[in-house]
Amino acid sequence: MRAEPTHVVRGPRVRSGWAFKAFVVGGALVVVAAGIGLGWFVWGKRTETHPAGGPARLTSPPHDRAHGSTAAGGDPRARGIPPPLGAESPSSTAPASTSPTAAHDTSNAAAPEPAEAPDRANERSAAPDTEERVELPPVPPRVARMSSAARASRARALRMRASRLERRERTEQAMQLYRQALVYDPRHAQTVAGMARTSLALERPTEAVAWARRATALAPREPDLHVLLGDALQAAGRAEEARASWQRALEIDSRHRGARRRLRAR
- At 128 the pLDDT is 41
Residue 136 inside a domain? The answer is yes
What value does the mean pLDDT take over residues 31-57? 66
Residue 208 inside a domain? The answer is yes
Residue 233 has pLDDT above 60, yes or no: yes
What value does the mean pLDDT take over residues 34-47? 75
Q: Which has the higher per-residue pLDDT, 225 or 119? A: 225
d(CA 27, CA 33): 10
- At 18 the pLDDT is 73
Residue 226 inside a domain? The answer is yes
CATH number of the domain enclosing 195: 1.25.40.10
- Total domains present in the chain: 1
Q: Mean pLDDT across the chain, nearest whole number?
A: 74
- At 80 the pLDDT is 52
Please indicate, yes or no, whether the overall pTM of this predicted structure exceeds 0.85: no
Range scoring the smallest mean pLDDT among 15-24, 127-136, 179-188, 219-228: 127-136
Angstrom CA distances, 234 to 79, 190, 212, 242, stand at 81, 21, 12, 5
Residue 74 has pLDDT above 70, yes or no: no
What value does the mean pLDDT take over residues 112-123? 42
Q: How many CA atoms lie within 13 A of 141 on its CB side?
A: 0
Q: How confident is the model at residue 90 (pLDDT cuts 50, 70, 90)?
A: very low
Q: What is the DSSP string of 214-241?
A: HHHHH-TT-HHHHHHHHHHHHHTT-HHH
d(CA 242, CA 233): 5
Residue 144 inside a domain? The answer is yes
What value does the mean pLDDT take over residues 21-47? 78
- Print the domain residue range for 241: 131-265
